Amino acid sequence: MTIRFGILTSSDRSARGERPDLSGPALGDLVTAHGWTVCRTVIVPDELDVIRETLSTWVDGGQVDVILTTGGTGFAPRDVTPEATSLVIDRQAPGLAEAMRQESRAVTPHAILSRAVAGIRGRVLIINLPGSPKAAVENLQVLLPVLAHAVELLKEEPDAEKHH
């Protein structure tokens, strides 16, 4: 199954060109290594309205099945990606964020500081990931075994129920 991804990096410094975005490309490499497609990428500042508008535009444009965000999920005052995502989604998918935190905790106790959320808008899955390239990839790897099935269910694919 082909899955179309959008990758949104939320970082003030990367958006200003002061620091290269390493997380977005790392996630893109992992996605394409699984035979899936990255259709959209963007680097935006840590601004709630910009993140919200980008997520909404991508979902409503019908060109992606999954949106991965990287960055803005911590405790810093400008970390607003979970809030922006929560304004966009129709339904929560808390098991995904819980699984990422649980697995990440085995790597670092700081994992419990993640405020990442995951949810669904229409037929698109949105997942918040950490801003660190290493942590972003590790967290996405936790979800890889279920992503194709999640997209099948969202698209109401006829064979989706066979994978339960």
Give the pLDDT confidence of 35-68 residue by residue, as tens digits: 999 999 999 999 999 999 999 999 999 999 999 9
Closest CA to 12 of 93, 58, 65, 81: 81
Whether the predicted pLDDT of 163 surpasses 70: no
pLDDT for residue 164 = 63
| pLDDT at residue 46, rounded to an integer | 98
What CATH number does residue 79 fall under?
3.40.980.10
The pair phi, psi for residue 50, each rounded to 5°, is -70, -45
Structural domain boundaries enclosing 102: 4-163
Distance CA 152, CA 164 (A): 11
Comparing CA positions, the residue from 138, 102, 144 lying closest to residue 125 is 144
pLDDT of residue 1: 85
Cα separation, 22 vs 48, whole angstroms: 21
Compute CA distances 110 → 84, 113, 146, whole Å: 22, 5, 25
pLDDT at site 3: 98
Average pLDDT over residues 82-102: 98
pLDDT at residue 24 in the model: 98
Instruction: Identify the pLDDT of residue 158.
Output: 85
**Element of type H or E holding 54:** helix 48-61
- pTM comes to 0.96
What is the count of structural domains for the chain? 1
Tell me the one-letter amino acid at 59.
V
Percent of the chain surpassing pLDDT 70: 99
